[in-house]
Amino acid sequence: MRSVCVIGLGLIGGSVLRAAAAAGRTVWGATGSAADSDAAAADGYTVAAVADALKRAADEDALVVLAVPLPAVDQVLRQVADVAPHCLLTDVVSVKGPVADAVARHAPEARFAGGHPMAGTSASGWSASSTDLFRGAAWVVVADDDTEVAAWRAAADLAIDCGAHVVPVTADEHDAAVARISHLPHVLAAVLASCGADGGPLALALAAGSFGDGTRVMGSRPELVLAMCEGNRPALLGAVDDALGKLGAARGALASTGSLGATIRAGHSGRARLAELRAAGTTRVIVDLTDRDVIDELQSVGAQGGRVVAFEGDLAIAEIPAD
Amino acid sequence: MRSVCVIGLGLIGGSVLRAAAAAGRTVWGATGSAADSDAAAADGYTVAAVADALKRAADEDALVVLAVPLPAVDQVLRQVADVAPHCLLTDVVSVKGPVADAVARHAPEARFAGGHPMAGTSASGWSASSTDLFRGAAWVVVADDDTEVAAWRAAADLAIDCGAHVVPVTADEHDAAVARISHLPHVLAAVLASCGADGGPLALALAAGSFGDGTRVMGSRPELVLAMCEGNRPALLGAVDDALGKLGAARGALASTGSLGATIRAGHSGRARLAELRAAGTTRVIVDLTDRDVIDELQSVGAQGGRVVAFEGDLAIAEIPAD
């Protein structure tokens, strides 16, 4: 089993380190945060300086996992280029296009496949990390037309070892999708929380389930939300425009006809579609990773809402929702 | 203890019937739903035809609780005017201005104080009702300038007996507040669910906590959501306009400067304000219900985010959040 070097030991990086170790991998980490470094060392994990951790990764052909916030990616990549230029490399940052651009710019020799585990909590830091954070979660591993299959496989193996299933998609498809189902929810939650607070103490005293649910993610640290949303600016603009159009249409219908029927029924259908997809049976698909058009096949799995759940030799075992 | 007659035995009406009975009150109900009627009778509750239930309320000076959807209110009120024109009357409908208008139109002799318990689930019907639904919840009892104190007290006593605390506010203040913290959340959840579903199976396959939280209320029956939101049209239009303005400002800032800082920080503050108010200590205030300006005093309690938690004789014991 390939060793794993994790740079950044917050909630996600820390959980990767723990889960990979629990799966029997040799692991070590590095972080710029003294608090996270001390806490990880106190829990018995090997923590080194970033350059030393990367040097060891090069020596042992380990998989390097970038688990720092997007604004810190460039700096770590320059160290990768210095110390471990040809390493197997993935990341767990919440946008994939900008990270791919940064890798192409700073560490173009790295054997890179971007990643994004769709798991988290409103807490942060090593102290919030856990071995089980990714159990049952979706974990995107980017399959772009120029992705090296061995790099994709190395990142996907880690995701499976952490208890997740792997969703193979292009970086652009990923960024458009998460704009809709992760970043837009944060923007709408912020708008809702502001509108509620503007109603004064009476409005907040009456707030019950719908307001609590709709604003929950605003309990997260603003810096983390901002790094995530602002890092996906082009795709998020499209999603916000879609929401503005739909909200404006709801406004117009309510004002002119008194009806919100189209808005509420479409919302109900959308939520039902989510439940249906989760309850749907699946069709099993086998992707041979030695095929010439393996990237196309992987992209097709992801575009259909499917996922890779296991590997057997060079075969990826995928499940696709049945209609 | 005053007897209670509940018209409408769905989630809310059924829970009022159960909770009032559990508090030791004599209770009976009526409903146009054969399913709810059969289920309530099977659980041992007295269920009569609407006219018979109202006639008994007039004979025994019971409190009549309207627990039907807004579109059915007019019809029940005509029966009230026929059979029990001077009864003590409250309701549990989610908007208060339109119900007050309907009472003034159809049953002007009734001794009316509107109500709205801020509790519910996404389930509906008698089978979802429970004795404990209102325990710890806010329950608005309208204190308008023309509200008769005895009617307000009768409705507030019921709320306290059901385990709730009483928030006294004007109908207009109520409708403006719930537009922000209950109806707008449903509209934004509908918009979000549609935007997510428009992203296709990939987007829904990646949906995690923020999308699930932000769309949860779209699991409710569309008819109930529509009756609630459309019934509060004027106030909801104002809240939607506020949200459109804030979302448009976020869009503009993201497009022009790349920053969502103002949006996310305001949202974080709004959510924090909710948590602060819930954690805040309270100042105790006593309102003497025999005071000449008792309605003013009650309105002041509600406007400050306060609530009445008990009665002792003619004294209402209120708690107001301390700064």
Question: Is pLDDT above 90 for B108?
Answer: yes
Residues B312-323 have pLDDT tens digits of 999 999 999 987
Could you tell me which chain B residue has the CA closest to the CA of A180? B196
User: Is the distance from CB of A118 to CB of B206 less than 8 angstroms?
Assistant: yes
CATH fold for the domain made of A175-259: 6-phosphogluconate dehydrogenase C-terminal fold (1.10.3660)
Partner residue opposite B222 with nearest CB, options A207, A265, A303: A265
Q: Do B208 and A248 touch (CB under 8 A)?
A: no
Q: Which residue has the tokens 């100042």?
A: B283
Q: Decide: B134 and B162 in contact? Cβ < 8 Å.
A: yes
Distance from C-alpha of B11 to C-alpha of B119, rounded to nearest angstrom: 10
Task: State the pairing for strand pair B4-7/B63-66.
Answer: parallel
A61: left (phi over 0), alpha (psi -120 to 50) or beta: left
By Cβ distance, the residue of A185, A251, A307 closest to B192 is: A185
Q: What are the chain A neighbours of B218 within 8 Å (beta carbons)?
A: 264, 267-268, 270-271
With a cut of 50, which residues of chain A have pLDDT below it? none
Residues of A in contact with B259 (CB under 8 A): 226, 230
Cβ neighbors of A154 (< 8 A, separation 6 or more) are: A2, A63, A88, A90, A111, A113
Mean per-residue pLDDT for B231-253?
97
CB distance B9 to B27 below 8 Å: no
Closest approach of chain B CAs to the CA of A72, in angstroms?
A: 17
Q: Mark yes or no for CB contact B195/A184 under 8 Å.
A: yes
Instruction: Give the per-residue pLDDT at B89.
Output: 98
Report pLDDT for A122. Answer: 66
Which of B5, B12, B308, B45 has the alpha carbon at shortest distance from B133? B12
A247/B240 Cβ within 8 A: yes
Interface contact flag, A305 B195, Cβ < 8 Å: no
Q: What is the 3-state secondary structure (H, E, C) of B191-254?
A: HHHHHHHHCHHHHHHHCCHHHHHHHHHHHCCHHHHHHHHHCCHHHHHHHHHHHHHHHHHHHHHH
Residue spans of the domains in chain B: they are 4-169, 179-259
Residue-averaged pLDDT of chain B: 96
| Contact (CB<8Å) B187/A219 | no
Confidence of residue B143 (pLDDT cuts 50, 70, 90): very high
Answer left, alpha or beta for residue A268, where phi above 0 means left and psi between -120 and 50 means alpha: alpha
At residue B122, the pLDDT reads 66
Residue that has been written with the tokens 């959308």 in this structure: A270
Distance CA B2, CA B5 (A): 10
Min Cα separation B93/chain A (Å): 15
Supply the CATH classification number for the domain B179-259.
1.10.3660.10
Binary contact (A138, B206; C-beta < 8 A): yes
Q: Where are the alpha helices (DSSP H) in chain B?
A: 11-22, 34-42, 50-60, 73-83, 97-106, 149-161, 171-178, 184-198, 200-206, 209-215, 222-230, 233-257, 261-279, 294-303
- The residue of B124, B217, B264 whose CB has the most chain A CBs within 10 angstroms, and thus the best one to mutate to test that interface, is B264
On the CB side of B217, how many CA atoms lie within 13 Å of its CA?
A: 29
Tell me, what's the pLDDT at A154? 98
- Across the A/B interface, how many CB contacts are shorter than 8 Å? 374
| Predicted local distance difference test score (pLDDT) of residue A280 | 86
Contacting residues of B for A120, CB less than 8 Å apart: 208-209
Contact A254 B242 (CB under 8 A): no
Global ipTM: 0.89
| CA-based nearest residue in chain B for residue A221 | B268
Span B13-28, average pLDDT: 98
Q: Return the CATH class of domain B4-169.
A: alpha beta
The two beta strands, A115-117 and A138-142, are antiparallel
Q: What is the arithmetic mean of pLDDT over B152-171?
A: 98
Query: Chain B contacts of A229, Cβ < 8 Å?
Result: 254, 260, 264
Cα of A125 vs its chain's centroid, Å: 16
State what percent of residues in chain B have pLDDT above 90.
93
Tell me the average pLDDT across B211-230: 93
Interchain pair A244, B242: CB under 8 A: no
Residue B208: pLDDT band with limits 50, 70, 90? confident
